[in-house]
Amino acid sequence: MQIIDADGHVAEGATLAVEAMKRFPDHIRVRDDGRIGLLIEGRHYPEDQGPGAGCPPEHGLSRAEGIAHGSMEGVLRDASRDHIDTMVLYPSFGLCAPSIEDRDFAIGFSRLYNEWLADYCKPSGGRLRGVAVVPIEHGDVAIDIMREAKKLGHVAAMLPPALKTRNLDHPDLERFYAAACEIDMPLGIHGAPGIHLPKIGVDRFTNYIQVHCISFPFDQMTAMTALVSGGVFDRHPKLRVAFLEAGVGWVPYFIDRMHEHFEKRGDWIENGWKRDPKEYLQAGNVWVSCEPEEPILPGVIDVLGSDFILYASDYPHWDGDWPESTHHLRTRDDIDEGARARIAGENARRFYGLG
């Protein structure tokens, strides 16, 4: 059984940060309060204090014994130890990209990151595949950078669950979605608290753990609501979107909740809500990552099937389970072998278009 990690992360380390500071000295510098981390456009990344606090930088990565996330070779060894054949790598430091406000800086940083990540993955023989960042707040240039990223070999582009003042169904994003379909570039919706983008409800908490509990699922519900009820998949039927890092247990509940609103008041959406939410999942527009130990996973499969579920490790972040992130997927006896194989790798191969 092939195992493809649909949402791992690259720990960029000092190499990328130092190069970014050299190229953009007016926008990136080391924190000035004596703590680890960076100031980007004068803001802490992540902002780990106050309402909606993000993860303290010194606690973001796993401290599991033997983990070697500091080099490409170490990551490959770690993947093999966890029975992972291929890892798709989302950013860590690079999660800041969608919230950069200065246009030229956002463009330059996105290009630097995507080129750096392509070079990082290249020696892995295809076992490490990159996810690009794009300056989505800054208009059609995001399309140009997505096209460049595709040529660099990246297998998806990352979007935040919501922009600073716009949801993901905003008309300004239509050309971006059309281009993603044209070049067959799937989109991964990936949030993170503390990166200066809107977060629903997290302003009620200043403790990062409380923020973390609610930010990821609420973010994904926000993004799914915009894309489904906002008609994005109707206008772009070839668009593939993965909703990440919230588990999969929330999906049957939320699909059913959206179904009720579609059935009873779908015509209240401007221009009409075209189809039942479940149909977008069945059509291959909607994909969701799971945590293999979720007790509700068999129930999700029973209600919605297994064709949309992606295994994800979150390696090497603090809440991942390396080197045992695949253990439950490989050994649990409450899902059948077909579902196991689809979740382990077949679905990720289809979503990311891996050869």
Q: What is the pLDDT of residue 116?
A: 98
267 - beta bridge partners? none
Strand order in the sheet with 43-45: 28-30, 38-40, 43-45
pLDDT at res. 115: 98
Cα 354–Cα 141–Cα 229 angle in degrees, nearest 5: 70
Q: Give, as one character, the DSSP assignment of residue 97.
A: G
Question: What is the predicted pLDDT for the residue at 98?
Answer: 96
pTM for the full predicted model: 0.97
Over its length of 355 residues, how does the chain's per-residue pLDDT go in tens digits? 999 999 999 999 889 999 999 999 999 999 888 888 899 999 999 999 999 999 998 999 999 999 999 999 999 999 999 999 999 999 999 999 999 999 999 999 999 999 999 999 999 999 999 999 999 999 999 999 999 999 999 999 999 999 999 999 999 999 999 999 999 999 999 989 999 998 888 889 999 999 999 999 999 999 999 999 999 999 999 999 999 999 999 999 999 999 999 999 999 998 778 999 999 999 999 999 999 999 999 999 999 999 999 999 999 999 999 999 999 999 999 999 999 999 999 999 999 999 7
Nearest alpha-carbon partner for 7 in 240, 334, 287: 287
Q: Counting beta carbons within 10 angstroms of the beta carbon of residue 189, is it exposed (0 to 12), middle (13 to 18) or buried (19 or more)? A: buried
Nearest Cα neighbor of 333 from 306, 297, 290, 300 is: 297
Length of the chain: 355
Give the DSSP H or E segment for 274.
Answer: none
Taking residue 327's Cβ as centre, other Cβ atoms within 10 Å add up to 14
Residue 80 has phi, psi (to 5 degrees) of -65, -40
Question: Contact at 8 Å (CB) between 201 and 218?
Answer: yes
- pLDDT value, residue 35: 85
Give the model's pLDDT for residue 200.
81
Determine the pLDDT at residue 33.
85
Closest CA to 244 of 290, 300, 185: 290
Does the bond joining 316 to the residue before it have cis omega, within 30 degrees of 0?
Answer: yes
In degrees and rounded to multiples of 5, residue 108 shows phi and psi of -65, -40
Q: Where are the alpha helices (DSSP H) in 186-207?
A: none
- CA 252 vs CA 162, 258, 281, 288, 347: distances in Å: 22, 10, 11, 11, 18
- Calpha distance 116→19 (Å, rounded): 10
Inter-residue contact 281 to 306 (CB < 8 Å): no
Alpha-carbon distance of 45 to 52, in angstroms, equals: 13
Residue 330's CB: how many other CB atoms inside 10 A?
13
Contact yes or no for 293/320 (Cβ under 8 A): no
Report pLDDT for 147: 98
The domains located in the chain, with CATH, are 4-352 (3.20.20.140)
pLDDT attached to residue 333: 96
